[in-house]
Amino acid sequence: MEIVPEAETAVVTLLPGAFRRGDAPSSPMDKARKDGTNTTQNETVLLPEEFRRKAIPPTGVTTLKDEKSEVQGDRAGPPAAEMISVPDIPLKTRPLGLLPAPDEAADLAAAEVIVSAGRGIGGEENIELLRRLASHFSRAAIGASRAVCDAGWLPCRYQIGQTGKTVSPRLYIACGISGALQHLAGMRGSQCIVAVNRDPQAAIFRVADVAVVEELVSFLPLLIAACRKHREGAAEAGR
């Protein structure tokens, strides 16, 4: 039943306090004029003060008032502290000293060449191939995708990406990296991107300057050998 505002005013004026609950929708006009509450979408009236309706969404919230509870007053003072003694427990370990962390990942932001590992390298044992490749460049560093760090193949300090480090080297060699957006956000500023991946549809190829579709364990040894030959030739020419 819908009551227009004019008729609603008349009903409330003629019958003030005659009802405790209304089954008509509430409106801003009647909230301040009647001493009752409105309920809508009722399915069954069980008792004069009890009814049944659906709860939408299916989770309901009920507020209960405990008539027997009393409001606690302010605490008179600070809580009392109980002092306990802890017995001396002999340690089974002893410090030997501090060792600095390897600086292999410390200069990622300053590296001119970064060889980065993705899950596509196949396993932790193949990271040594990336280290050997990086050793042929000056100011080179090893990086990794989040998947590699999550797998425990490299510590998190090597991670490049939105949740890792942001780098902009002259040469970025992505090995087995698929090209997730969060990783691209950390290396998009690289001047030259070389991507090596066996999947020709890998997203990393969309941003790569040089794309190599090949198995890493087959391609990297050839690239390392070529780098070694180039360095040896340059050294021979400089004599």
pLDDT in tens, 178-223: 999 999 999 999 999 999 999 999 999 999 999 999 999 999 999 9
- Domain 113-237 fold is Rossmann fold (3.40.50)
pLDDT of residue 11: 44
SS3 letters across the chain = CCCCHHHHHHHHHHCCCCCCEECCCCCCCCCCCCCCEECCCEEEEEECCEEEECCCCCCCCCCCCCCCCCCCCCCCCCCCCCCCCCCCCCCCCCCCCCCCCCCCCCCCCCCCEEEEECHHHCCHHHHHHHHHHHCCCCCEEEEECHHHHHCCCCCHHHEECCCCECCCCCEEEEECCCCCHHHHHHHCCCCEEEEEECCCCCHHHHCCCEEEECCHHHHHHHHHHHHHHHHHHHHHHCC
The pLDDT tens digits of the residues spanning 73-130 come to 666 777 778 888 878 877 777 778 776 555 555 578 889 999 999 999 999 999 999 9
Domain residue ranges of the chain, discontinuous segments joined by +: 5-52, 113-237
